[in-house]
Amino acid sequence: MAAARERLSPAERRVAEVVAGDPEAVAFGTVAQLARRAGTSGASVVRLADRLGYRGFVGLQDAVRRDLRQRLRPAAERIRSAAAGRDDVLRRVLDVELANLRLTLEGLDPRSFGAAVARLAARQQRVFVVASEQARGIGLLFAGELRIVRDGVQQIEGSSFRVTTELAGLGPEDTVVWMDLRRHERWLLEAFEQARTSGAAHIAITDSEFSPLADGAMATLTVAAAGAGPFDSHVGMLAIGNALLAGVAARLQRSLTRRLDALEGVWAAQRALVEPR
Protein backbone atom coordinates (compact mmCIF):
# COMPACT_ATOMS: atom_id res chain seq x y z
CA MET A 1 0.00 0.00 0.00
CA ALA A 2 2.86 2.37 0.75
CA ALA A 3 4.35 1.79 -2.68
CA ALA A 4 0.98 2.40 -4.35
CA ARG A 5 0.06 5.44 -2.26
CA GLU A 6 0.63 8.05 -4.98
CA ARG A 7 -1.57 6.11 -7.41
CA LEU A 8 -4.55 5.87 -5.07
CA SER A 9 -7.58 8.12 -5.24
CA PRO A 10 -8.66 9.96 -2.06
CA ALA A 11 -11.40 7.38 -1.46
CA GLU A 12 -8.99 4.47 -1.98
CA ARG A 13 -6.54 6.08 0.44
CA ARG A 14 -9.22 6.21 3.11
CA VAL A 15 -9.86 2.50 2.61
CA ALA A 16 -6.10 1.81 2.75
CA GLU A 17 -5.87 3.71 6.04
CA VAL A 18 -8.56 1.48 7.55
CA VAL A 19 -6.80 -1.64 6.25
CA ALA A 20 -3.48 -0.55 7.75
CA GLY A 21 -4.93 0.68 11.04
CA ASP A 22 -7.43 -2.10 11.69
CA PRO A 23 -6.58 -5.22 9.64
CA GLU A 24 -9.06 -7.28 11.67
CA ALA A 25 -11.84 -5.21 10.09
CA VAL A 26 -10.75 -6.58 6.72
CA ALA A 27 -9.98 -10.11 7.86
CA PHE A 28 -13.38 -10.63 9.46
CA GLY A 29 -15.55 -7.98 7.80
CA THR A 30 -17.37 -7.42 4.54
CA VAL A 31 -16.99 -4.98 1.67
CA ALA A 32 -19.96 -2.95 2.95
CA GLN A 33 -18.60 -2.76 6.50
CA LEU A 34 -15.17 -1.66 5.31
CA ALA A 35 -16.72 0.94 3.01
CA ARG A 36 -18.73 2.39 5.90
CA ARG A 37 -15.60 2.57 8.07
CA ALA A 38 -13.80 4.47 5.33
CA GLY A 39 -16.75 6.71 4.49
CA THR A 40 -16.82 5.60 0.87
CA SER A 41 -18.45 3.08 -1.43
CA GLY A 42 -17.99 -0.64 -1.88
CA ALA A 43 -16.67 0.05 -5.36
CA SER A 44 -13.71 1.95 -3.85
CA VAL A 45 -12.90 -1.05 -1.66
CA VAL A 46 -12.87 -3.38 -4.64
CA ARG A 47 -10.85 -0.92 -6.74
CA LEU A 48 -8.22 -0.69 -4.00
CA ALA A 49 -7.90 -4.47 -3.87
CA ASP A 50 -7.54 -4.62 -7.66
CA ARG A 51 -5.02 -1.77 -7.73
CA LEU A 52 -2.88 -3.58 -5.15
CA GLY A 53 -2.81 -6.67 -7.36
CA TYR A 54 -5.30 -8.85 -5.50
CA ARG A 55 -8.22 -10.70 -7.04
CA GLY A 56 -10.90 -8.47 -5.63
CA PHE A 57 -11.83 -8.09 -1.98
CA VAL A 58 -11.56 -11.83 -1.30
CA GLY A 59 -7.90 -11.80 -2.42
CA LEU A 60 -7.14 -8.80 -0.19
CA GLN A 61 -8.96 -10.44 2.72
CA ASP A 62 -6.98 -13.67 2.31
CA ALA A 63 -3.71 -11.72 2.30
CA VAL A 64 -4.64 -9.85 5.48
CA ARG A 65 -5.64 -13.07 7.20
CA ARG A 66 -2.31 -14.67 6.29
CA ASP A 67 -0.47 -11.64 7.65
CA LEU A 68 -2.41 -11.68 10.90
CA ARG A 69 -1.71 -15.32 11.56
CA GLN A 70 2.02 -14.78 11.01
CA ARG A 71 2.46 -11.89 13.42
CA LEU A 72 4.84 -13.40 15.92
CA ARG A 73 5.76 -11.52 19.06
CA PRO A 74 9.08 -11.84 20.91
CA ALA A 75 9.11 -14.25 23.84
CA ALA A 76 9.70 -11.47 26.35
CA GLU A 77 6.47 -9.78 25.28
CA ARG A 78 4.41 -12.95 25.24
CA ILE A 79 5.35 -14.06 28.73
CA ARG A 80 3.99 -10.78 30.11
CA SER A 81 0.66 -11.09 28.31
CA ALA A 82 0.36 -14.77 29.26
CA ALA A 83 0.61 -13.94 32.97
CA ALA A 84 -2.95 -12.61 32.97
CA GLY A 85 -4.35 -15.97 31.96
CA ARG A 86 -2.08 -18.28 33.92
CA ASP A 87 -4.97 -19.76 35.89
CA ASP A 88 -6.44 -21.39 32.77
CA VAL A 89 -3.33 -22.54 30.94
CA LEU A 90 -4.77 -25.72 29.48
CA ARG A 91 -7.79 -23.97 27.98
CA ARG A 92 -5.62 -21.21 26.50
CA VAL A 93 -3.19 -23.70 24.99
CA LEU A 94 -6.02 -25.77 23.56
CA ASP A 95 -7.62 -22.72 21.92
CA VAL A 96 -4.34 -21.43 20.50
CA GLU A 97 -3.13 -24.76 19.14
CA LEU A 98 -6.48 -25.68 17.60
CA ALA A 99 -6.44 -22.31 15.86
CA ASN A 100 -2.86 -22.92 14.70
CA LEU A 101 -3.82 -26.27 13.21
CA ARG A 102 -6.89 -24.93 11.44
CA LEU A 103 -5.14 -21.84 10.06
CA THR A 104 -2.15 -23.90 8.93
CA LEU A 105 -3.89 -26.78 7.19
CA GLU A 106 -6.84 -24.84 5.80
CA GLY A 107 -4.52 -22.06 4.64
CA LEU A 108 -2.28 -24.29 2.52
CA ASP A 109 -2.40 -23.74 -1.22
CA PRO A 110 -3.45 -27.16 -2.62
CA ARG A 111 -1.32 -26.67 -5.73
CA SER A 112 1.83 -25.88 -3.74
CA PHE A 113 1.19 -28.76 -1.38
CA GLY A 114 0.57 -31.15 -4.27
CA ALA A 115 3.75 -30.01 -6.02
CA ALA A 116 5.76 -30.57 -2.83
CA VAL A 117 4.33 -34.07 -2.37
CA ALA A 118 5.05 -34.99 -6.00
CA ARG A 119 8.63 -33.77 -5.72
CA LEU A 120 9.26 -35.63 -2.46
CA ALA A 121 7.77 -38.81 -3.93
CA ALA A 122 10.14 -38.78 -6.92
CA ARG A 123 12.43 -41.57 -5.71
CA GLN A 124 15.23 -40.92 -8.21
CA GLN A 125 15.89 -37.57 -6.53
CA ARG A 126 17.76 -36.95 -3.30
CA VAL A 127 16.04 -35.05 -0.51
CA PHE A 128 17.88 -32.92 2.04
CA VAL A 129 16.23 -31.48 5.16
CA VAL A 130 17.68 -28.32 6.70
CA ALA A 131 16.04 -27.16 9.92
CA SER A 132 16.96 -24.34 12.25
CA GLU A 133 17.92 -25.10 15.83
CA GLN A 134 14.41 -24.26 17.02
CA ALA A 135 12.89 -26.62 14.44
CA ARG A 136 15.60 -29.29 14.71
CA GLY A 137 13.40 -31.84 16.47
CA ILE A 138 10.71 -31.61 13.82
CA GLY A 139 13.36 -31.81 11.10
CA LEU A 140 14.82 -34.96 12.63
CA LEU A 141 11.40 -36.57 12.89
CA PHE A 142 10.41 -35.59 9.35
CA ALA A 143 13.70 -36.74 7.79
CA GLY A 144 13.67 -39.99 9.78
CA GLU A 145 10.15 -40.95 8.78
CA LEU A 146 10.62 -39.87 5.16
CA ARG A 147 13.73 -42.08 5.12
CA ILE A 148 11.49 -45.04 5.98
CA VAL A 149 9.12 -44.14 3.16
CA ARG A 150 11.82 -43.73 0.50
CA ASP A 151 15.59 -43.82 -0.04
CA GLY A 152 17.93 -40.89 -0.51
CA VAL A 153 16.89 -38.70 2.45
CA GLN A 154 19.43 -36.86 4.60
CA GLN A 155 19.25 -34.17 7.25
CA ILE A 156 21.97 -31.54 6.97
CA GLU A 157 23.13 -30.13 10.29
CA GLY A 158 26.24 -29.46 12.31
CA SER A 159 28.92 -26.79 12.00
CA SER A 160 28.82 -24.14 9.27
CA PHE A 161 31.73 -25.95 7.61
CA ARG A 162 29.81 -29.21 7.48
CA VAL A 163 26.61 -27.57 6.23
CA THR A 164 28.51 -25.69 3.52
CA THR A 165 30.29 -28.88 2.48
CA GLU A 166 27.09 -30.93 2.26
CA LEU A 167 25.30 -28.26 0.24
CA ALA A 168 28.20 -27.96 -2.20
CA GLY A 169 27.14 -31.20 -3.86
CA LEU A 170 23.56 -30.12 -4.65
CA GLY A 171 22.30 -30.31 -8.22
CA PRO A 172 19.11 -29.75 -10.24
CA GLU A 173 17.84 -33.25 -9.42
CA ASP A 174 17.97 -32.61 -5.67
CA THR A 175 15.29 -31.24 -3.35
CA VAL A 176 15.91 -29.27 -0.14
CA VAL A 177 13.25 -28.87 2.55
CA TRP A 178 13.86 -25.79 4.71
CA MET A 179 12.24 -25.46 8.15
CA ASP A 180 12.38 -22.27 10.17
CA LEU A 181 10.29 -19.47 11.68
CA ARG A 182 11.04 -15.79 12.00
CA ARG A 183 13.33 -14.54 13.42
CA HIS A 184 15.53 -16.66 11.16
CA GLU A 185 18.87 -18.03 12.28
CA ARG A 186 21.64 -16.38 10.29
CA TRP A 187 23.49 -19.60 9.42
CA LEU A 188 20.37 -21.05 7.84
CA LEU A 189 19.79 -18.01 5.62
CA GLU A 190 23.43 -18.12 4.55
CA ALA A 191 23.05 -21.81 3.71
CA PHE A 192 19.91 -21.02 1.74
CA GLU A 193 21.72 -18.38 -0.30
CA GLN A 194 24.45 -20.90 -1.09
CA ALA A 195 21.92 -23.56 -2.10
CA ARG A 196 19.92 -21.21 -4.36
CA THR A 197 22.68 -21.24 -6.98
CA SER A 198 22.71 -25.04 -7.25
CA GLY A 199 19.58 -25.40 -9.34
CA ALA A 200 18.01 -27.68 -6.71
CA ALA A 201 14.29 -27.45 -5.95
CA HIS A 202 13.41 -25.81 -2.64
CA ILE A 203 10.41 -26.43 -0.37
CA ALA A 204 10.01 -23.83 2.40
CA ILE A 205 8.08 -24.65 5.56
CA THR A 206 7.97 -21.32 7.32
CA ASP A 207 5.64 -18.71 8.76
CA SER A 208 5.27 -16.27 5.88
CA GLU A 209 5.13 -16.16 2.10
CA PHE A 210 7.48 -13.17 2.45
CA SER A 211 10.14 -15.14 4.31
CA PRO A 212 13.59 -15.14 2.66
CA LEU A 213 13.22 -18.93 2.48
CA ALA A 214 10.26 -18.49 0.14
CA ASP A 215 12.36 -16.60 -2.41
CA GLY A 216 12.59 -18.89 -5.42
CA ALA A 217 11.02 -21.86 -3.62
CA MET A 218 8.96 -24.23 -5.77
CA ALA A 219 6.51 -24.52 -2.85
CA THR A 220 6.06 -22.40 0.26
CA LEU A 221 3.97 -24.03 2.98
CA THR A 222 3.13 -21.50 5.66
CA VAL A 223 2.40 -22.30 9.28
CA ALA A 224 0.47 -20.47 11.96
CA ALA A 225 2.82 -20.28 14.92
CA ALA A 226 1.10 -18.23 17.62
CA GLY A 227 2.27 -19.32 21.05
CA ALA A 228 0.12 -19.67 24.15
CA GLY A 229 3.28 -19.13 26.18
CA PRO A 230 6.55 -17.28 25.59
CA PHE A 231 7.65 -19.31 22.55
CA ASP A 232 6.40 -19.88 19.03
CA SER A 233 4.26 -22.96 18.50
CA HIS A 234 5.61 -25.74 16.31
CA VAL A 235 2.35 -27.66 16.13
CA GLY A 236 1.56 -26.25 12.69
CA MET A 237 5.00 -27.14 11.33
CA LEU A 238 4.66 -30.66 12.70
CA ALA A 239 1.23 -30.94 11.06
CA ILE A 240 2.62 -29.92 7.67
CA GLY A 241 5.38 -32.50 8.01
CA ASN A 242 2.80 -35.16 8.84
CA ALA A 243 0.66 -34.10 5.87
CA LEU A 244 3.62 -34.30 3.49
CA LEU A 245 4.51 -37.75 4.78
CA ALA A 246 0.92 -38.92 4.35
CA GLY A 247 0.85 -37.57 0.80
CA VAL A 248 4.14 -39.19 -0.18
CA ALA A 249 3.13 -42.50 1.43
CA ALA A 250 -0.11 -42.50 -0.57
CA ARG A 251 1.81 -41.99 -3.83
CA LEU A 252 4.31 -44.72 -3.00
CA GLN A 253 1.81 -47.13 -1.43
CA ARG A 254 2.87 -50.25 -3.32
CA SER A 255 6.61 -49.90 -2.76
CA LEU A 256 6.07 -48.61 0.79
CA THR A 257 4.06 -51.72 1.68
CA ARG A 258 7.01 -53.91 0.69
CA ARG A 259 9.45 -51.68 2.59
CA LEU A 260 7.39 -51.76 5.77
CA ASP A 261 6.90 -55.53 5.57
CA ALA A 262 10.67 -55.97 5.26
CA LEU A 263 11.33 -53.59 8.14
CA GLU A 264 8.79 -55.33 10.35
CA GLY A 265 10.64 -58.58 9.69
CA VAL A 266 13.97 -57.04 10.70
CA TRP A 267 12.50 -55.41 13.80
CA ALA A 268 10.92 -58.70 14.87
CA ALA A 269 14.09 -60.69 14.24
CA GLN A 270 16.18 -58.21 16.23
CA ARG A 271 13.51 -57.84 18.92
CA ALA A 272 13.96 -54.09 18.45
CA LEU A 273 10.53 -53.18 19.73
CA VAL A 274 8.77 -54.11 22.93
CA GLU A 275 5.19 -55.08 22.20
CA PRO A 276 2.51 -53.87 24.62
CA ARG A 277 1.12 -56.54 26.94
pLDDT tens for the chain, 277 residues long, are 767 877 889 999 889 888 877 787 888 889 999 999 999 999 999 999 999 999 899 999 888 887 776 554 554 455 445 554 556 888 888 888 988 898 889 888 899 999 999 999 998 889 999 999 999 999 999 999 999 999 999 999 988 899 999 999 899 999 999 999 988 899 999 999 999 888 899 999 998 776 889 888 999 998 988 888 888 899 999 999 999 999 999 999 988 888 888 888 898 888 888 888 7
Distance CA 207, CA 70 (A): 6
In this prediction, residue 81 carries a pLDDT of: 54
Distance CA 134, CA 184 (A): 10
* Residue 18 burial by Cβ neighbours in a 10 Å radius (0-12, 13-18, 19+): buried
Name all domains of the chain by residue range, CATH numbers in brackets: 5-69 (1.10.10.10), 108-265 (3.40.50.10490)
Distance CA 170, CA 126 (A): 9
Instruction: Give residues with Cβ within 8 angstroms of 78, minimum separation 6.
Output: 227, 229, 230, 231
20-26: Cβ within 8 A, 24+ apart? 23/64, 23/67, 23/68, 24/68, 26/60, 26/61, 26/64
In this prediction, residue 87 carries a pLDDT of: 63
Tell me the CB-side half-sphere exposure of residue 43, using CA atoms within 13 A.
1
- In Å, how far from its chain's centre is CA 46? 29
Distance CA 58, CA 64 (A): 10
Distance CA 55, CA 49 (A): 7
* Torsion angles phi and psi, residue 181, rounded to 5: -115, 155
Helix (H, G, I), strand (E, B) or coil at 201: strand
Q: Indicate the helix (H) or strand (E) that contains 202.
A: strand 201-206
Count H helices and E strands in the chain, helices first: 13, 5
Of all residues in the chain, what percent are helix, strand and coil, respectively (each to 5)?
A: 60, 10, 30
Q: What is the pTM of this model?
A: 0.71
* Torsion angles phi and psi, residue 251, rounded to 5: -70, -30
Q: How far is CA 24 from CA 21, 59, 134, in A?
A: 9, 15, 29
